Structures are given as structure tokens and as C-alpha cells.
Amino acid sequence: MFILEKRPTPSRFWLYATPVVAVLLTMIAGGLLFALLGTNPFAVIKTIFWDPIFGEFAFYLRGQLLVKAGPLILIAIGLSLGFRAGIWNIGAEGQYIMGAIVGAGVGLAVYPTESRLIYPVMVIAGALGGWAWAMIPAILKTKFNTNEILVSLMLVYVAQTILAKASTGFLRNPEGAGFPGSRNFSSYKAASNPEFFAGSGLHWGGIAALVAAGLAYVLLQRHIVGFQIKLTGQAPRAAKFHGVSPNRLVMLCMGLSGALAGLAGLFEVTGPAGQISIDFNVGYGFTAIIVAFLGRLNPIGIVLAGFLMALTYVGGEMAATNMGLPAAAIQVFQGMLLFFLLGVDVLTNYRIRLLFRGTR
């Protein structure tokens, strides 16, 4: 029989091999899923992972990779700080939505004013919107010891309700002939977030994601706050003896993750999405959780994982369109990645041991 035996120290090999093995297992299991759906699994895997980079339309699709990777990286960086400290913000999707609503609302409130100050103020408002939404579970956690997982997750559905109300009510385009949705920011130059180069996919959201990754790396490696975050996650009792305040850390990590998620929402609504709409949110906040763990909660790893997950978005859309796969199958494929990642990650702290009958 086989048993799991705890390792004396975590395995450095499996620490870095886990994401690679998880991706390979996802390809195998996903291939079986696609075969059961009557599609050539090798063709689907090629479409998802190869064609967006080296295929016929790779020049255009590479830009789409940047578009998809930007918000995933930005949100995952914020989440990873809390996850490292054992603070579980699962509601980044709601903070992403509220950042978009608040930031867009500021811009639409002064329409059609043209000023260079409008967009910077919208960026600040977007960050504050996400921050404020994250402060609700943070305050409830620190004051009443509620579970931040449940509270932050439930607030996602509240944010989705507010989003629907904004699309059909207080932010609806008065010149939109009654259709839901706000004004389109692409026609409002002072409040838009266009690509720096046509077709490149690079806009302020991508720049912000890379800057956030760089700052997070410096914070974790060179700042006392980063040391406190890592210490709290690895040894909570030792952190208390070191003088770390758990409540302050909850407020800091939840606030940072909420602000970055709100920024991602603002950059998305003023850029690729173009407007506040009922279906504005596409699950970036939830997918970013996979990105954070796939990147081993390391800023550099998260950047790489963000582009890998962006591949599954862009390549998955191609597979669904060209091969007739249901969108749900692509979502299951993405979910498999987290499933295998968590499963294989057990080998970091445990080894599989073959136990013969009559032995211990």
C-alpha cells in the first residue's frame, strides 16, 4: 500500500516542478475530455497553447495575450500578498467590478469635459473603489472575527447586482436608445485607455501589472513588511512574538489586493471592454487565484503564470470558435489546472512511500 510521509523539510524540486507537472497533467486530462466530446485532442491542445504564439494569426493574438494577461497579473499580485500571510481574499472579482464602477462613474460624471487630469483621477477612484470593497471583509475580520473567505465571496454577488443596476440605471447611456450599458469610453478621449501601439495589446493596464510585480518583489525581498507577511504565513506564533500585528496585516493585505483589483477593473472598462455592461466581469478575479498559486505566490512566477493563463483564454476562444467546443469545456480545462496544481503540491511537503505488508 501507499502512504504519505511528511518530509523533514519542503522539497525544493517539487516546489518548482509542481506547476510544470500540473500543466502536463492538465493537458492529458483535458485531451481526454476533448476526445470524449468528439474533437481531436491534439488539435485542441495545439490551438490553445501553440497557435496564439506561432500560428497564422499570431501577430494579432499576441496582442490579445497582453490584454488578457494584464488584469490577471495585477489581481494575482495583490492576492498573493494576502495568501502568503494566510489571509484569504476570495472576492477579488467583486473588488474588480467595484473599481470599474467607481472609476467609470467619476469619468462619466464630468462627461464631455476634456482634461488631462480626468484619467488620473479615474485611476485613483478605481483603486479606492476596490480598496473600499475589500475593507468590508477586512473590518469584519478584525472587529468581529468573521471568515474573510465567506464575506469576500458573498460580496462578489452584491457587486454583480450593483453592476447590473449601473448598466440599466444610474450609469446607463442616456443616448443609448434604452439599451443597457454606459457610454463607450473609446469615444471619450479624456477617459479612455487606448493601446500605445495599434494591435500591440499594450495599454496602461499592462504597464501597471509589470510595475506591481516589480514593487511586490522588492516588498517581499527587501522590506520589513514583506518579511512580516512571509513570517506570518510560515510561523504565525513566531510572528506574534516578533511584534507583528495580525489585524494591521489583514487590513494592509486586503487593502492592497482590493486596490489592485480595482485598478484592473478601471483599466479594463476604459480599455478593452470599453463600457460598463451587465456582462462586464468575465471571471478575472477568480481566475487570478489560479494564476497566484500557479506562480507559487512569487511575483516573477505570477507574471509567467499570467501569460500562460492568458493562453488558455485566447486559445480557448479560438478552439471554441473553430472547433465547436462548448465554452464550458474550456472553463473545465482551466479549472483542471488548479485541481492538479493543488493535488501535486502535496508532494512539496509529503513523499509517497510504498509500505509492504507487515512493515510500518
pLDDT tens per residue, range 12-66:
899 889 999 999 999 999 999 999 999 999 999 999 999 888 887 777 778 889 9
Question: Across all residues in the chain, what is the average pLDDT?
Answer: 92
Domains along the chain?
40-324 (1.10.3470)
Answer whether 66's CB lies under 8 Å from 60's CB: no
- Taking CA atoms, 58 is separated from 53, 62, 180, 199, in Å, by 5, 6, 34, 11
Burial 90-103 (b: 16+ CB within 10 A, else e): bbbbbbbbbbbbbb
Q: What is the pLDDT of residue 133?
A: 98
Answer whether 188's CB lies under 8 Å from 194's CB: no
Helices (H) and strands (E) in the chain, counts: 14, 2
- The burial of 124, by beta-carbon neighbours within 10 Å (0-12 exposed, 13-18 middle, 19 or more buried), is given as middle
Answer whether 311's CB lies under 8 Å from 52's CB: yes
Q: What is the pLDDT of residue 61?
A: 78
Q: What is the pLDDT of residue 147?
A: 95
pTM of the predicted structure, to 2 decimals:
0.93
List Cβ neighbours of 172 (8 Å cut-off, separation of 6 or more): 166, 180, 181, 182
- Give, in degrees to the nearest 5, the angle at Cα 260 between 259 and 261: 90
pLDDT tens per residue, range 169-184:
999 999 888 899 999 9
Label residue 201 by pLDDT band (50, 70, 90). Answer: confident
List Cβ neighbours of 340 (8 Å cut-off, separation of 6 or more): 21, 22, 25, 26, 29
Label residue 157 by pLDDT band (50, 70, 90). Answer: very high
Q: What is the pLDDT of residue 263?
A: 98
pLDDT tens per residue, range 237-287:
888 888 889 999 999 999 999 999 999 999 999 999 999 999 898 889 999
Answer whether 312's CB lies under 8 Å from 319's CB: no
Q: What is the pLDDT of residue 324?
A: 86
Give the Cα separation of 41 and 30 in Å (integer): 8
